[in-house]
Chain A
Amino acid sequence: MLRQRPAAPKQSGATIKLAQLAPGQQATIVGTVPDAAPPVAGRLWQLGFRPATHVDVIRRAPLGDPTIYRVQDTELCLRRREARLIEVVFDTDR
């Protein structure tokens, strides 16, 4: 279900991977990539990475990985490997 894309999001712009965002940027989650393993996609959903949810990129570790995101009122860190599985649209108006 996480893979179904909801109706076109309000924000303009193409879908990119969460891992491509830089610290300080914000985005809205679209879903997980189709080839994400279902248990992993399910876990990301459970952790709050759900469609139409806002995500803030807080900071990246000094060695470049992992990165802290704020989603559903929690700060969580994900490695690039998992952040690549999440598709987002960039919030341009903020």
Chain B
Amino acid sequence: MTSCHDSGGGPVAVASTRRIALVGSPNAGKTSVFNHLTGLRAKTGNYPGVTVGRSVGTVKVDGVTIAVEDLPGTYSLDAISPDEQVVTDLLAGAFDHIEPPGAIVLVADATTLRRSILLVAQVIRLGLPCLLALTMGDELTVRGGRVDVDALSAALGIPVTAVVAHRGSGIDDLRAQLGTFDRWQRPPILPPSDPEAADAWGKSVLDAADYAAPRPDQRTNRIDQVVLHPVWGVGVFFAVMFAFFQIVFTVAAPLQDLVGQGLTWIGGRVTGHSGNSILGGLIGDGIIGGVGTVLQFVPQIMLLFLLIALLENVGYMARAAFLMDRVMARTGLEGRAFVAMLSSFACAVPGIMATRTLPSSRDRIATVLSAPLMTCSARLPVYTLLIGLLVAPQTRWWGFSAQGITMFLLYLGGGTAALISAWLFKSTILRSDLLPFTMELPPYRFPYPKAVLVAMWGAAKMFLRKAGTIILATSLVLWTLLNLPPRGAETAHLSPTDATAYVMDRSYAADVGKAIEPVFEPLGFDWRTDIALVGSLSAREVFVSTLGQVAAATDPADPREALMTMTDDHGRRVFAAPTVVALLLYFMFALQCMSTVAVMRRETNSWRWPALAFGYMFVLAWVMAFAARSIAIGLGA
């Protein structure tokens, strides 16, 4: 993490740069305006000291570069959450090292102007040069409303530009005006500060602009009659979520395999050409393998953000949150956290990234801290191996496959644990009593490809730049631990599989495994299991292949037979039933994944939260594994 964006100052540190901030309510089309103005050149980071994302882009007007900052959506400058406080503080110049902007572009939705005129009043009162970009004018007309833009400008005393953000019309006009913000018209008298007076001021301004509010959107109403129907609506919800999960889980898998195979092939060529030297191994397995670990997440992240952006742009995300809010409210979270939790069943990395759709930063952190308990797809191969050691394939319980039941219980346990942990965090350190749950249900709209593509691209770029480096570094460290010191002379006469096992049994990782053995001894793990645990920090499924190599199985991809008969230094079976149960429980709860830790660091802008998550999940995993093993032994297993 050498990027200067994380040092706290944010991407725009040059004070002399001309800066403009975009301010507006959620759903006003602020981010669309931002994307149109700045294209894909936006830089993202965090505001100092808070878990609130910051994005700054640049726009060139007549050869002058202007920085444009997309502030979090807010209904009011009277902030009631840390996220809204960022807007108020930034505009007031209350952040260290961040000057207040030189001018403000207010973005307001023409169809909800009666509400947002109060925010307009508050922002004008700040006294900075101000321009109103009025979006959704086309929709206002279609729904029978009207507004006279010039009269509105005259009544407000500031320039007003009509913008249809999704089509990009009016953007050139807006861009041209950005260059001359010090010459923008300023209101002779500021709007009143008293809410009642501001309300009256707003009404008089809208009257002067001949504003007529739009009719309710009939198309939205008809769709909602089905989509939010007590029976059909729930059916649609489950169908959408099922399809969502299937796509993230199964469509991504072949793409991930393809990336994996491509890199394995390249790695093999490198290792082959360099004659099995340490350097060849480091480049072929360590670096290229590490890059592979990073790249394998990319198809999944891009697919997930494609779907989230589609559902958000269409307007379904708010409906899904509306349907699920009651369920999520039991944990102290809100409906919008559901998608992040669901995505975590595929993988916690995109799941944690999906928390960005939550408006409250406390909810975001609580979701980030608990989502990794959801049974992700990387646990699947580990569970399959361990269940295979525990229950024979033909065993049946109440007529069902015992292996299937065990797997189901593990999924159920992971999901329950995640919800309980979210509830614990939300009722202790992440309480947010004050912030009322209010969510707008925007009219259904056609998604605009550019908005969807920008969201997809942004997520992938952010992951590669910010989390990718940490994941790559971890992979390299783990490769070094597992493959050094070199044993070239001693393994010269051994077959490749035996050589790998020989090196690993005498590697630094083995020293680590033996060193941490006392920690895991009460759980029944011997030092070879501990090596596999260390290796699985790069990705949980590595546990399976490492264990295979450690056990010197003839086929590392199916080490079940060798493991069943493996004995420890005292001649006892290593994978006796109570130990396997303990391992299952350990993997169910432990944050055994450095990629997740890296993406937590990225999303919360601090090592504090990933450290807390790693710590509490380790303790939980250890205690549960110990308890389960003791019970299993007590039952005579």
Do A and B share a complex? Answer: yes
Point out residues on A near B: beta carbons under 8 Å: 1-2, 37, 39-40, 42-48, 50, 58-59, 61-66, 68, 70, 72-79, 81-82
Question: Closest CB-CB distance, A2 to chain B, in whole Å?
Answer: 8
Q: Cβ of B438 and Cβ of A78 under 8 Å apart?
A: yes
Of the residues B325, B438, B439, contact of A43 by C-beta under 8 Å: B438
Binary contact track B479-497/A, C-beta < 8 Å → 1, others 0:
0000000000000000000
Interface segment, one of B194-202, B577-585, B595-603: B194-202
Q: Cβ of B112 and Cβ of A72 under 8 Å apart?
A: yes
Q: Cβ of A47 and Cβ of B441 under 8 Å apart?
A: no
- Kindly state the separation between the CA atoms of A58 and B76 in the bound complex, as whole angstroms: 25
Q: Cβ of B114 and Cβ of A48 under 8 Å apart?
A: yes
Of the residues A2, A39, A58, A72, contact of B78 by C-beta under 8 Å: A39
Flag whether B322 is at the interface (Cβ < 8 A): yes
Q: Cβ of A66 and Cβ of B434 under 8 Å apart?
A: no
Flag whether B111 is at the interface (Cβ < 8 A): yes
Interchain residue pairs with CB less than 8 A apart (20): A1-B195, A39-B434, A40-B80, A46-B75, A46-B76, A46-B78, A48-B115, A59-B224, A59-B228, A63-B326, A63-B327, A72-B112, A72-B114, A75-B441, A76-B438, A76-B439, A77-B322, A77-B325, A78-B437, A79-B436
- Kindly state the separation between the CA atoms of A70 and B224 in the bound complex, as whole angstroms: 14
Inside 8 A of A66's CB, which chain B residues have their CB? 322, 325-326, 437, 439
Point out residues on B near A: beta carbons under 8 Å: 75-76, 78, 80, 111-112, 114-115, 118-119, 194-196, 199, 213-214, 216, 220, 224, 228, 230, 233-234, 322-323, 325-327, 329, 434, 436-441
- Kindly state the separation between the CA atoms of A24 and B430 in the bound complex, as whole angstroms: 37
Question: Closest CB-CB distance, B328 to chain A, in whole Å?
Answer: 11
- A47-B115 contact, Cβ under 8 Å, with A1-B195, A74-B440: yes
Q: Cβ of A61 and Cβ of B437 under 8 Å apart?
A: no
- A68-B214 contact, Cβ under 8 Å, with A46-B78, A47-B115: no
- Kindly state the separation between the CA atoms of A75 and B440 in the bound complex, as whole angstroms: 6
- Kindly state the separation between the CA atoms of A77 and B75 in the bound complex, as whole angstroms: 15
Q: Cβ of A46 and Cβ of B119 under 8 Å apart?
A: yes
- The majority secondary structure among interface residues of chain A is mixed
- Kindly state the separation between the CA atoms of A2 and B196 in the bound complex, as whole angstroms: 8
Q: Cβ of A72 and Cβ of B194 under 8 Å apart?
A: no
- Kindly state the separation between the CA atoms of A39 and B224 in the bound complex, as whole angstroms: 31
Q: Cβ of A82 and Cβ of B436 under 8 Å apart?
A: yes
Inside 8 A of A81's CB, which chain B residues have their CB? 436-437
Q: Cβ of B323 and Cβ of A76 under 8 Å apart?
A: no
- Kindly state the separation between the CA atoms of A47 and B436 in the bound complex, as whole angstroms: 11
Of the residues B76, B213, B228, contact of A42 by C-beta under 8 Å: B76
Q: Cβ of A64 and Cβ of B326 under 8 Å apart?
A: yes
Extra inter-chain contacts (6) besides given A43-B80, A46-B118, A79-B437, CB under 8 Å: A39-B434, A46-B76, A66-B322, A73-B115, A76-B438, A76-B441
- A43-B76 contact, Cβ under 8 Å, with A77-B438, A82-B436, A82-B438: yes
Q: Which among B75, B111, B195, B441 has the greatest number of chain A C-beta atoms within 10 A? A: B441
Closest to A37 in B: B434
Inside 8 A of B230's CB, which chain A residues have their CB? 62
Q: Cβ of A79 and Cβ of B111 under 8 Å apart?
A: no
Question: Closest CB-CB distance, A21 to chain B, in whole Å?
Answer: 17
Q: Cβ of B437 and Cβ of A73 under 8 Å apart?
A: no
- Kindly state the separation between the CA atoms of A74 and B434 in the bound complex, as whole angstroms: 23
- Kindly state the separation between the CA atoms of A56 and B399 in the bound complex, as whole angstroms: 53
- A43-B436 contact, Cβ under 8 Å, with A50-B199, A64-B326, A65-B325: yes
Inside 8 A of A79's CB, which chain B residues have their CB? 325, 329, 436-437
- Kindly state the separation between the CA atoms of A8 and B551 in the bound complex, as whole angstroms: 84
Question: Closest CB-CB distance, B85 to chain A, in whole Å?
Answer: 12
Q: Cβ of B115 and Cβ of A74 under 8 Å apart?
A: yes
- A68-B80 contact, Cβ under 8 Å, with A59-B224, A62-B230, A82-B437: no
Inside 8 A of B228's CB, which chain A residues have their CB? 59, 61, 68
